[in-house]
Structure 1
């Protein structure tokens, strides 16, 4: 007989109660094997190490595994696993619940900064989605876009359409569901009541009814017997009255054990003819069954991470560069065409002036646009400029004229000079777009170099990360030699850091950089921050890279607060030795370089209009750390953001030591922490550390 490869809805009723016994376990790390097996390594005060496995591929299961049954740690963690580590490290496992009677489990984890829910879809193609506290999808293994529901990053998670839940049915509702069927008893129980084939047959056996009886021919007593059997079966399972069994294929040799073929939370009449082993818990039975399940025919064992398709990504970046270069050429041609139009107006000054005057006089005389057009079309040199006239744009109040080889749109209410100035201004605007495209090319080339570097590192480094029970991270502090890896990024000349969710936050170091940030790098869906105190940098939280289209992305509250804390710490609040300050956030369309009447804006200053989102009493918490992968470098920023991004950190606060002196103290402390002192000298010199410290005096926070 075929081996069971997927847990059933009935199985999940039993499993949910047992998994909730692990509530309070703390998450250490997340792993992803292949594209369908998730492992959460946790620790429990009473039980010690807890390994939760969730698989959603050809095999679909969820259970806590014996530590000896988990696969070795895979290769480099993919982005999905990194995201989970960032969100779940140190979080408490709070609860698990089954969605209705569906094969869907929701695992809820709680952490002081933000809660996270993992939804495991153990049906169909299978999927795992990670939700934020607002139940918006942070990421998912697969994107689902159906008319009935959507599972995609940035969208509210959508459950499948609700199915009948036999746990909630009264006898009347049960009988109504059965009577609506036009097939036999067992098929109706399996599909309309959602019991599945095995448990539908089990209910028929326990009720003592013939399973092939058409529903239309079944008397009321038959339906009553089936309802009683379902209530007893589900009631016992829900109450935890279990007798977990693993069943085996029968063999001719009594001393030889056959292959495992099924696992159930209770002993079944339908499996009475099969050899079986009993287990103390259903979770233990699931662990035994799926650990020993023969998956040799699977295409992917799930224990390694496939090599990323670097070549495809490199080709993609190269195509983007080609498109950007073509865009620059197009901008140059467009700007040159606008300048030629302007120059042609001056070259035919009398002709253009006569045409504009004639149209203006006709309008002042009360003639309509169509009448003016007809007059020019019929004129044979009697009307000034008639030979150049092409047509009118009535809605815009403009005319079109053919001057040299160009068709030019002209404003009759303005003279030749103002029309030419307008064309020169348009040429300048296009030139500015060309400058932006050049900057985008630089960023894309940096992305291309980064992909090539990741490819080289992947091919050069070992393919697996080693693990022990205590800590499976590379022990960078104790390594005698650490390779230097660093790719310069466009934003590093500004003040910058990345939030917990990876948003880039950049701030100006002076008035010139403040101007540049707003004019060149702030897009319409970014966020603008500034401290309430004077002397702070313009701070921009980027929701997209400069080379990407700007999208309307919701920024989590924690990340917005981190950006606001950055703006406060880099302002005069730190310089003045204060421990807290206020900041506000607005959208880019509220920021203007145009002052109100009677106001004056200095270089680097901007006017902010409209409502503001305030962040009050933000503490000046700051940390400087060193990261060793994927790049070796110093990082600095709000402590709660930097904490998970570095191998080691030193927390600082406003203090009496000048910035340079404090940087030297931090440098000496880093040298003591790393075995490879030469590495610290190369990547974290006092001068480099200073770049990642707030302006003003500091002191190290004693731990």
Structure 2
């Protein structure tokens, strides 16, 4: 395929070579190559800047091959007929098998053993299969993607008998079918690579953890060993003194093993046994500090592994094939967290894990904001950006429900929980003297206001954004489409996210389905779901 390009006083041509791996070459009026996509060297030609462009050598066109030529070709080949058709006639494996099937010829039969009638049937089958393309008879074209379960197997302009029993998805044109098929293939390849990199990152931390656990065991053993030696010196003080008197006093440090023990002691004869015991206790302290340091490092590494495993695998947009663009507002900073707007218009943001809890409180909470939390383990830090303004009782209940629903109360199947509220200035990361606050936790000082909150959430779409919000009637009224959830049931997060996406897509108009698929991907929906099992209370269709 050639496309002529005019640029000022020059005429250039863009040549697309539709060969295996393919190539694109720009040539000038003198057929000289000015820019190739890929530099290649073949026995008959070179694709390099400055070289004269030579077309690829012509191959046999099976649609133009007469019966006599086909007979001569077959008589010269002792390979299976399907291989001869695939390679010598450039049909490829799929269409070679289709020709054999349609001609009624065993594909494993040797080409040079074919009868004249079989060769004639093969030629007729080739012409019949490709006739819709030869005649440009669009009524006989049936562009489709062959599927097997959720896997897209192949894309074809017309049906083939080899896929007769497979499921098919029809398209208006072959271009549409090919675009869908290859976009998916490229996207899956890019995502697979991203997942592989993600798994490597997890593997790196797991290797570090193994080394840290090995070090921990060594330090624990050394600490116990030193304490044991110090205690042994005091327990056998007299016996050790007696042994030392009988030994060569010229040596400063002596090694000895007491009868009935397997412990070897290193004794410094220049100091008292009391100081020798003290030295072992000091060594034990050193190993204890090392052990404690490794234990803290292990906690950090475990947290990194948990965070990395829970992290959504993201792929740079530039690496992904372009899909139909979805019109939506610019992404805001709070969309990396769980969030919603109260009925009064206050922004409420909740953490997803210890790391995001820490970021939320340290970076985004002001002293006049409200901080909501439950006593249940694994509860998110939830802040309401009120700037000190009054908040209605209804909105306070909404925020309390949001905070309680994302705690482990949901996981344990509770339908109601207790939540407290304080101002931002009451929350601190500074612990009392001698105490330690783990990552994602905080100190709360002063009076707290408590709420009884029913657990319930809505996952929905508002202004082309996926949101999670409390299940109050005022919140439901803001959403274009949503699913209301309650604790319990038997749906795990993976199954539930698939079901929610299906409800959203099925309820959308045909022209909106692709847009909904991009806004509410399974991964995004899953990131908004609370921990544990849930049931769908009700699903609501699109209102607009």
TM-score (normalizing by structure 1): 0.29
Computing the radius of gyration from Cα coordinates, the structure with the larger value is 2
Higher helix share: 2
**Greater relative contact order (Cα < 8 A, sep 6+):** 1
